[in-house]
Structure 1
Amino acid sequence: MFKVPLTVVGAELLRNELQRLKSVERPNVIAAIAEARSHGDLSENAEYDAAKERQGFVEGRILELEAKLSNAQIIDPAAIESDGRIVFGATVDLEDLESGDQVTYQIVGDDEADIKQGKISVSSPIARALIGKSSGEVAEVLAPGGIREYEVLDVKYI
């Protein structure tokens, strides 16, 4: 198995979801199945079918989270010695050279990525173009609309 990179915050979020699934969702599904069974004939029992389907989803997600956490390489951006270069976990301020728009992104693992929160996946085209760059350098990103150029304004490790 290969290691899955996660920030400290991302690993904590996955642990919290796993805990919630095991301590809240799993018992709720078991109770729903028991309730549906008490209604008699299982062959035409929609509640039972729905509860069993939910159980399959919950158990599958638990297995998925356990596998990800067991293969996780947890990286603390604040503890990285990278001499101002963009690495996994870094927060970068960028300027789109064409439009002049400024954006801030943190490079995180695939499971943590959320563009609305300014977190981009390490496997995204923009993150791959940024890795290894320093403040003042220009990164060329092959986007669906063509090549976009971003100047790195600042690199932080928070």
Structure 2
Amino acid sequence: MSRAFTREETNENAIAELGERPVSAHRNLGTPGGLAAIDNEIATLRSDLKAAEGEGDKTRIAVLARDLRYWLSRRETAELVPPEKGSEIVRFGMTVSLEDEDGKQARWRIVGEDEADPSKGSISHVSPMARALFGKGIGEAAVVNGREWEIVGLE
């Protein structure tokens, strides 16, 4: 058996074992920006998939097709939840300013799972912090991982 045949066979096995991306069981809430980001991802994947098909790269085609199926599914199930302006309690899409008992401050925007990026100040609506904050107002406290945070601002 030639090495080329072995490499192709191994490649076929890798494609078969790729599997689907896991989809969250939670409601797929999103902000207008989050849904726009999904639309952009779908457009990019379609373009990349077309290019990969032209090149005949089976592994890349499999990965891109899997990712496209994931994002199409996420877009299909997405529920647009525009921020509620003027709300005095924590809701989806709001930015919450917090302070702990040691004076440490944090600021989080509560968004959908697909758009959450804690390094950029956004957390998922299903995160422990967001769940602890929902329905509370300025001056109220939320406890997460044994640490108490007071809500000091809402936007």
Aligned pair count? 131
For each residue in 1:116-149, what CA deviation from the matched residue of structure 2 results, as whole angstroms up to 9, or x when unmatched? 11000111111110011101111111x2xxx010
Corresponding residue to 1:27 among 33, 40, 50: 50
Higher strand share: 1
- SS in structure 2 at match of 1:140: strand
- SS in structure 2 at match of 1:139: strand
1:110 and 2:134 matched: no
Provide structure 2 residue ranges, at least 5 long, that are not aligned to the other structure: 1-24
Q: Distance in 2 between matches of 1:151 and 1:10?
A: 27
- SS in structure 1 at match of 2:147: strand
Name segments (4+ residues, structure 1) moved above 4 Å: none
Q: Distance in 2 between matches of 1:2 and 1:127?
A: 14
CA displacement at 1:83 relative to structure 2 = 3.3
Provide structure 1 residue ranges, at least 5 long, that are not aligned to the other structure: 34-50
In structure 2, relative to structure 1, the CA distance for the partners of 1:120 and 1:2 (3 Å cut) is closer
Letter in 1 for 2:116: A
The answer on whether the counterparts of 1:5 and 1:73 sit within 8 Å (CA) in structure 2 is yes
Normalising by the residue count of structure 2, what TM-score does the alignment of the two structures yield? Answer: 0.79
User: Bigger shift: 104-113 or 81-90?
Assistant: 81-90
Q: Distance in 2 between matches of 1:96 and 1:61?
A: 40
Q: Distance in 1 between matches of 2:118 and 2:139?
A: 23
**Partner residue, 2:96:** 92
Q: Distance in 2 between matches of 1:8 and 1:124?
A: 20
Q: RMSD across aligned C-alpha pairs, in angstroms?
A: 1.6
For each residue in 1:48-84, what CA deviation from the matched residue of structure 2 results, as whole angstroms up to 9, or x when unmatched? xxx211111111111111111111111111xx26731
Q: Distance in 2 between matches of 1:7 and 1:148?
A: 28
CA displacement at 1:93 relative to structure 2 = 0.4
